[in-house]
């Protein structure tokens, strides 16, 4: 039973990844192209300023793959593989929850688990460390940002599991609704404390020799030695659009996983008889 659920989860994840790729290719990829154009223009302006002051600039390394390959094949394969991985994790979580979260049937349970996956694995970490397009963030902070983001994911998943456990413990005393609210409040408080403690990269200084002590992870306007602006700062609307479409793509992916997996799991868990009437659902997996 577990293997069959896992295979269905991988299949649902592949379909969801393909849908998310199509969405990202239409809406998010143009934002990435604009960010790359901004980065190229800023680098060119910086090179002119460096040359005027007698500094030598190193030529940028050539891209191994063209933008066309990156935008189509690269992102497409990456999104599908990511969807399959998330589908497998989803199926494992679904099997664990099956029969242990009340009398939910296959489809509602699939949507519930998908929603929890979207919140715990993406949205909550995103609130603290949102996705950045090219030109946002610098090499000096890539390692730190990646490590802290993964740590945020670990905290989010751990607190989500803890909230489920707490809700079940409080259920006999406070009832389903109140227990759920109390567990959700505990999760918000716990994750909020972690977000306050963990460092933020929104205002860390970088590249001080060019931008001074007031530089941030989001590039400010580039100025010459007289203070005149020679290249604008990174557009705020472009940053918003990229992050908005990033969240929307992930929401689409997790929603598709739940919607595709639900009917597949229902057919597996509630097979029909020869007359077409559904039989009783089998015992929960692992129960």
Dig out the tokens for 24 from the structure: 């990202």
How many C-beta atoms surround the C-beta of residue 278 within 10 A? 12
- At 206 the pLDDT is 40
- At 178 the pLDDT is 94
- At 60 the pLDDT is 57
Per-residue pLDDT for 156 more than 90? yes
Beta strand segments in 175-274, E: 222-223, 229-231
Instruction: Give the residue-averaged pLDDT of 96-108.
Output: 81
Q: Pick the more confident residue, 266 or 43.
A: 266
User: For 56-82, what is each residue's pLDDT tens digit?
Assistant: 666 556 666 666 777 678 889 999 999
Instruction: Classify each residue of 73-82 as buried b or exposed e, where b means 16 or more C-beta atoms within 10 Å of its C-beta.
Output: eebbeebbeb
For residue 204, what pLDDT band results from cuts at 50, 70 and 90? very low
- Max mean pLDDT range (31-35, 85-89, 177-181): 85-89
**Mean pLDDT score of the chain, rounded to an integer?**
84
Question: What percent of the chain is predicted at pLDDT more than 70?
Answer: 82
For helices 106-118 and 236-269, angle between their N-to-C axes, nearest 10 degrees: 150
Read off the DSSP letter of residue 27. Answer: I
- Find the farthest-apart pair of alpha carbons in the chain and give their distance in angstroms, rounded: 85
48-62, 124-138, 140-154, 205-219: the lowest-pLDDT one? 205-219
State the residue for tokens 């001074």: 212
Per-residue pLDDT for 228 more than 90? no
- 3-class SS of residue 101: coil
How many Å from the N-terminal Cα to the C-terminal Cα in the chain? 12
User: For 237-284, what is each residue's pLDDT tens digit?
Assistant: 999 999 999 999 999 999 999 999 999 999 988 764 344 445 444 445
Global pTM reads 0.84
């Amino acid at each position: 039973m577990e293997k069959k659920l896992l295979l269905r989860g991988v299949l649902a994840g592949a379909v969801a990844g393909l849908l998310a790729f199509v969405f990202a290719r239409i809406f998010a990829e143009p934002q990435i192209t604009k960010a790359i154009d901004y980065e190229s223009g800023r680098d060119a302006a910086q090179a002119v300023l460096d040359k005027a002051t007698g500094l030598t600039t190193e030529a940028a390394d050539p891209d191994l793959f063209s933008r066309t390959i990156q935008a189509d094949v690269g992102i497409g394969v990456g999104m599908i593989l990511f969807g399959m991985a998330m589908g497998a994790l989803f199926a494992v979580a679904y099997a664990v929850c099956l029969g242990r979260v009340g009398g939910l049937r296959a489809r509602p349970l699939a949507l519930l688990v998908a929603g929890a996956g979207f919140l715990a694995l993406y949205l909550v970490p995103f609130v603290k460390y949102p996705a950045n397009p090219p030109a946002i963030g610098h090499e000096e902070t890539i390692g730190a940002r990646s490590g802290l983001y993964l740590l945020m994911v670990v905290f989010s998943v751990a607190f989500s599991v803890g909230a489920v456990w707490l809700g079940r413990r409080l259920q006999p005393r406070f009832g389903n609704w109140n227990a759920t609210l109390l567990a959700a409040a505990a999760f918000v408080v716990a994750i909020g404390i972690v977000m306050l403690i963990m460092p933020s990269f929104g205002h860390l200084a970088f590249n001080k020799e060019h931008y001074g002590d007031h530089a941030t992870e989001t590039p400010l306007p580039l100025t010459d030695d007289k203070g005149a602006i020679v290249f604008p700062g990174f557009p705020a609307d472009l940053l918003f659009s990229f992050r908005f479409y990033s969240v929307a793509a992930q929401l689409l992916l997790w929603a598709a996983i739940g919607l595709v997996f639900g009917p597949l799991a229902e057919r597996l868990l509630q097979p029909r008889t020869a007359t077409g009437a559904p039989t009783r659902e089998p015992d929960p997996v692992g129960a």
